[in-house]
Amino acid sequence: MQQYILKRALLMIPTLFGAAVLVFVLLRLIPGDICVLRMSGGGGFVDQRAIDLCRSELGLDRPYIIQFLDFLWGFIRFDFGKSMWTGQPIIDEISLRFQLSLQIAIMATITATLLAIPLGTISALKQNTWIDYAVRGFSIAGIAMPSFWLGILIILGLLITSKGLFGTPWMPPIKYVPLWVDPLYNLSMTIFPALATGYRYSAVATRMTRSTMLEVLREDYVRTARAKGLVQKLIIRRHALKNALLPVITVISIEFAFLMGGLVVTEQVFNLNGLGKLFVVSVTNNDYTMTQALVMLVVAIFVLTNFLVDLTYAWLDPRIRFK
């Protein structure tokens, strides 16, 4: 098991290096210059000497290989430098938004898991009954409805309901406060985007749970357990569900990693200043250092998540070994 963990951990290094090369090259191929953008905000003429001076201050006039090595060395030391647009340390800019995105991702994942596994299991056990049709309709609706559209409906529902009950419309707060500082204020801001995202998230996992449960329930070892007279609940819990959860864990974990930087539109709807919004701003401003740091952060989250999934696979299924 230790050798398995070591080899899976070592495989993370070339993945991260390949991602670093790719993001560095692609950002330099995108048209645009941050110095021109910064100095021509009003649309006026910009002297070429001022642009050259700006590029020299930002280090953009250095050879690409030197810029890449500095970027790589900074990533290894968790020092991403300063933002080319604001001049603030990138680690400070990201940390302000990372807490919010992480909390919503965790809450959405918990919501999706609590919905998907029970509903998918019940749907498989009650195949072709009205319960199965209801669960399938619930999951199809979740896949069909974008989370940002559902978020708009939630906001409109809150406005109409609160105005009818209290006479004044209620809106979620705008300023982010950590959960441990003011739990009620924090949850009033994050619960609704987490529910909107978690519902769509659960729809995919519900369908996966149902499919894998149906496949496992037809296996010979399940028939053998039934022939031995084991109780249905014991068969489901010890034999069927544990094996059926393997692909479901993959779906849930990948969706969690995606939520860390992929909630761009949902954050706009709920006016959240998370990592997704910071992504849009940094790309729009041609802020190379900020965009590189954000991409590598998301890549690191994906790689770490996949690593934890591999370990979970090996724990759930003893047959899985690294060859």
Which tens digits make up the pLDDT trace of 111-153? 989 999 899 989 988 888 999 899 999 888 888 888 778 888 8
314 vs 12, higher pLDDT: 12
pTM, entire model:
0.82
**What mean pLDDT is reported for the chain?**
82
- pLDDT at residue 91, as a whole number: 87
Q: Give the lowest-confidence range in 140-154, 169-183, 254-268, 288-302.
A: 169-183
Q: Which CATH number describes the domain made up of 90-316?
A: 1.10.3720.10
* Mean of pLDDT values over 27-45: 72
- pLDDT at residue 134, as a whole number: 92
- Report the C-alpha dihedral over residues 131, 137, 139, 144, rounded to 10 degrees: 180
Judged against a pLDDT cut of 80, whether residue 203 lies above it is answered with yes
